[in-house]
Amino acid sequence: MKSVVSKKYDPEKVLALIENFKNSGEVLSSGRNEIRLFDLDGKILNVKSFKVPNFINKITYKYFRKSKAQRSYGYANVLKDKKIGTPEPIAFFENSEGNTFQESYYVCEHLDADLTFRELVSNPNFPDHEEILRAFTRFTFKLHEENIEFLDHSPGNTLIKKNGGHYDFYLVDLNRMNFKEMTFLERMNNFSRLTPKKEMVVIMANEYAKFVNKPEEEVFGKMWFLTQQFQERFHREKRWKKKLKFWKN
């Protein structure tokens, strides 16, 4: 098994969590991938098990491309270097059989968040709603200024913690990122998956426009247009999946 473990942790102890993943720990989420929590010497660790990929990706991840686990670990360290919030990265593990890649694991310290962006979408009366939304927009602007394109910038992938009188933001689900200077269009598109609510886009556009050399009307117009485009694609794909499921049954 290939692995890299932070010098802050005993590699044998972390490996033991991976070897006993299916038989211990507390299940935090399950589905395509599974996340379990483990207590290691008084610290709660978050271990994400990525599903075994399809045949093509078994070859791709073995020889040509970094696995999701390795990318998550590497990108987390890039974020830490750039002083962007993310749970402390600890390790990644990859298992192969012969010439094919099998399962992989990403380990980080568990962050007990107060909320995610999703709560802002579902509850317009959430305390400090507009204040958090504006702070989140400034956080996203900082990502863009640091040349970070977080491709999974969606409601569940930013953890939010209240810290005294302000809010801190932490990115999770890190395996899809680009590091490059972003165009205005790419920056606006990075907001498109976050919310279908126009009133939230109005606030985010107003806040983002304070930091770019663009009129607020242009920022809102592009941000809202790209949000609508994403929502149309999302619901179209949902309808097709529903029809496909019907015909299969």
120-163 pLDDT, tens digit each: 999 999 999 999 999 999 999 999 999 999 999 999 999 999 99
Is the same domain home to 105 and 119?
no
Is the same domain home to 74 and 185?
no
- On the question of pLDDT at 116 being above 80, the answer is yes
pTM: 0.90
Residue 68 is assigned to a structural domain of this protein: yes
Is the same domain home to 28 and 90?
yes
Is the same domain home to 101 and 119?
no
CA–CA dist 67, 74 (Å, integer): 11
What's the DSSP call for residue 211? G
- On the question of pLDDT at 236 being above 90, the answer is no
Q: N- to C-terminal Cα distance for the chain?
A: 40
CA–CA dist 202, 207 (Å, integer): 9
What long-range pairs does 171-175 form, CB within 8 A, spacing at least 24? Answer: 171/79, 171/84, 171/85, 171/86, 172/86, 172/87, 172/111, 173/72, 174/71, 174/72, 174/75, 174/76, 174/79, 174/86, 175/68, 175/69, 175/71, 175/72, 175/75, 175/106
Residue 244 is assigned to a structural domain of this protein: no
Contact (Cβ atoms closer than 8 angstroms) between residue 67 and residue 84 = no
Helices 198-208 and 129-145 pack at an angle, to 10 degrees, of 50
Final residue of a structural domain among 109, 129, 160: 109
Residue 249 is assigned to a structural domain of this protein: no
Residue 198 is assigned to a structural domain of this protein: yes
CB-based contacts of 138: which residues, under 8 Å, 6+ apart? 207, 211
Least Cα distance to 84 among 5, 127, 45, 142 occurs for 142
Which neighbouring-strand residues pair with 27? 36
Residue 150 is assigned to a structural domain of this protein: yes
Burial track 227-249 (b if 16+ CB lie within 10 A, e otherwise): beebeeeeeeeeeeeeeeeeeee
Final residue of a structural domain among 45, 76, 109: 109
Is the same domain home to 125 and 103?
no
Final residue of a structural domain among 109, 130, 152: 109
Residue 33's CATH number: 3.30.200
Is the same domain home to 191 and 168?
yes
- Token couple for 139: 């956080």
Is the same domain home to 13 and 94?
yes
Residue 242 is assigned to a structural domain of this protein: no
Residue 57 is assigned to a structural domain of this protein: yes
Residue 167's CATH number: 1.10.510
* pLDDT tens readout for residues 5-47: 999 999 999 999 999 999 999 999 988 899 999 999 999 999 9
Higher pLDDT, 86 or 99: 86
Least Cα distance to 152 among 137, 174, 182, 178 occurs for 174
Residue 220 is assigned to a structural domain of this protein: yes
What is the extent of the structural domain holding 58? Answer: 2-109
Tally the domains of the chain: 2
Is the same domain home to 97 and 131?
no
